[in-house]
Structure 1
Amino acid sequence: MIPNLDPAGRAIVYVLDDDHDLGAAVARLLVRQGHGAKSFEDPEVLLSTYAGAPAHCIVTDIMMGSLDGFALADRIRTMDTALAIVFMTAWPTTANAVDSVRRYGGLDYLEKPLDEARLLAAVAEGVAWSRQQRDIRARTGTLSPRERQVFDLLVQGHSNKAVAAILALSPKTVEDHRAAIVAKTGASGLAQLIALTR
C-alpha cells in the first residue's frame, strides 16, 4: 500500500540534485508550500529510501554522475507507476525535453535557474495526479480477476450482453459482476466506472 501522506499529513515530494545547495533550497521551498519534502544528492540513496517510503512526486536533475535522471525514472517506474516526475536541467535540449515527457513519463521539463511558480505548479499537478492514480488503483485493486475482465470490457463500451458473449457467461452473471464492481469501487454507474480509467 502506497501512503498518501507523511506523518504530518502532507504529500511527499523528493528532490534529487547532485548540487546539495540547490536540492536543499528546492526542498525548503516545497516545505513552505505545505509538502513533506526531502532532498537527495545520490540517486541510489533515493531509490533505497523510496522502497520503504514512496513519494507522490520526484523533482530530479537530469545530468548527474553514475545514474542520470532518465535512468532513475526507468528504475523508479518499476517500483511505482503512479509517481509523478518533474525533470530539471541546467543544459536544456529539445531532444531531452521531448524524451522527458514521451519516453520517461515526466510531467514537466524545467530549466535552471528554476522558475519557482512553474515548479510549484508542476509539483501541485504531480501530487494531484499521483493521488488520483493511487485512488483508482485502490478502488479497482479489490476486484477479482473475473470482475476485472468484466470491468475492462464495460469501460470499453460493451453492453452486458456483449460482455456475456465475449466471456462466455450468462447476462445474469455479468449483471452480478457489474453490481459487485460498482459496490467495490464506489461508482454510481457506468459513467463513473469509465472515469476511473481516464
Structure 2
Amino acid sequence: MAPARIYLVDDNDAFRESTAWLLETAGFEPRPFASGAAFLAAYEAERHGARDECLVSDIRMPQMSGLQLQDELIRRGIRLPLVFVTAHGDVPLAVEAMRKGATNFLEKPFTDEALTHALHAAFASRSQHARMRNEALEKLSPRERQVLDLVVASKPNKIIADILGISIKTVELHRANMMSKLGVRSLPELMKVALGHG
C-alpha cells in the first residue's frame, strides 16, 4: 500500500523543509506548500482515494491563515484530517479550529513523536468516523435510502414524490424518519452525513 500522503502548509521555509524530512523519515509521503492557495490548487488537480491523506497546516500565515484555509476546505466539501501547528499557541484559535473539525493542535516546537502520534490519531479518527457513518446509513430502509439519494441530488419533496410514485406526505414522513435515524436536525447536517463530510 502507498505511504500516507501528508500535505504540509507553512510559510516558514526552514520549518517546512525540516518537517518534510521528518515526515519522510517516519514513512510518510510529504507534500510541502508555502501557502494555502498553492496547496488548494495542487490538491484540486490530483486524484485522491488510493491512500490515506492528512493536512498539517500552520495556523498563522499571510494572505490565507490556517483557519481561512480550513473554512475554504469546508466550503469546497474537501474532507481531510487536519492537524494545526503554530508558534503562537492560543486557546481561542485552538478551540475554533477543533470546533470546525481539526483533529489536533500542536504548538511549535513539538517533538517528532508528537507529530507522528497526532497523524496516526487523525487517521484512526477518520476510519472510526467512516465506520459510524456507514452504520448509520445501514439503519435506513430501502425507501428512506431512495429519498436520501434524491434529497442529496437537491430534488424538492414534490419531485421526489413524483419520481417514487408516493405522496408528498409520505416523502415528508420518510425524511423525518431518516433524519431521526441519522441523528441530524437540518438539511445541511443531512447532506454532510450523506456525503461523508459530517
Question: Could you tell me the TM-score, scaled by structure 2's length?
Answer: 0.62
- Give the CA deviation at 1:77: 2.1
Q: What is the aligned partner in structure 1 of residue 116 from structure 2?
A: 120
Post-superposition shift, 1:167? 3.4
Given candidates 17, 22, 34, the residue that maps to 2:15 is 22
Deviation (angstroms), 1:100? 1.6
Asked whether 1:36 is paired with 2:36, we answer no
Q: What is the CA distance between 1:81 and its match in structure 2?
A: 4.5
Aligned: 1:94 with 2:87: no
State the 1:147 CA deviation. 2.0
Aligned twin of 1:109:
105
Q: Report the AA paired with residue 62 of structure 1.
A: I
For the pair 1:69 / 2:76, whether they are aligned, the reply is no
> Within 5 A, what are the aligned runs for 1:140-151?
146-147=144-145
Q: Which residue of 1 aligns with 2:41?
A: 48
Give distance in 1, aligned partners of 2:27 and 2:106.
21
Decide whether aligned partners of structure 1 residues 26 and 138 sit closer, same or farther in structure 2, where only a CA change above 3 A counts: farther
Tell me how large the CA RMSD over aligned residues is: 3.5
Quote the Cα distance in structure 1 between the aligned partners of 2:78 and 2:142.
21
Q: Is the 8 A contact 1:15 1:23 kept in 2?
A: yes
1:3 maps to none
Structure-1-length-normalised TM-score: 0.62
State percent identity of aligned pairs. Answer: 25
**Unaligned segments of structure 1, at least 5 residues:** 1-7, 152-162, 169-195
Cα distance change of structure 1 residues 149 and 69 upon mapping to structure 2, 3 Å threshold: same
Cα deviations by residue, 1:34-55 (Å, 9 ceiling, x for unpaired): 2111111121110001112357
When the two structures are aligned, how many residues end up with a matched partner? Answer: 149
